[in-house]
Amino acid sequence: MKNIINYYILILTPLGLLIWLLRTDSINTWMFIGLIFFYSLIYRTYIDGKKLADKNIIPKKDIWKMIIPGKRIEYFKELYLK
């Protein structure tokens, strides 16, 4: 996942899909809230950690530590700009 375009597609597509599902009344509000929590706590933690591990910035065993508040800001430049 060294390509930044693929990274942005991976992080933005699920959000677009969730919003589309909510707007078309395919899911209710509580399901949307639950899926947003899943997205932010599980999915984004894994995707961000995987990107950093692929770039050899953090070890693969430390991917779970990306759930700690402030960790994404610590690696902001590596995650979003490179």
Question: Which residue intervals of 1-82 are DSSP H helices?
Answer: 4-23, 29-38, 44-54, 71-74, 76
Q: Which residue range(s) make up the domain with 67?
A: 4-81
Query: Which pTM was predicted?
Result: 0.79
CA distances from 46 to 22, 68, 79 (A): 24, 12, 12
Report how many domains make up the chain.
1
Which single residue is written with the structure tokens 């899926």? Answer: 35
Show pLDDT as tens, one digit a residue, over the chain (82 residues). 568 888 899 999 999 999 999 999 889 999 999 999 999 889 988 988 888 888 888 888 888 888 888 877 887 877 778 7
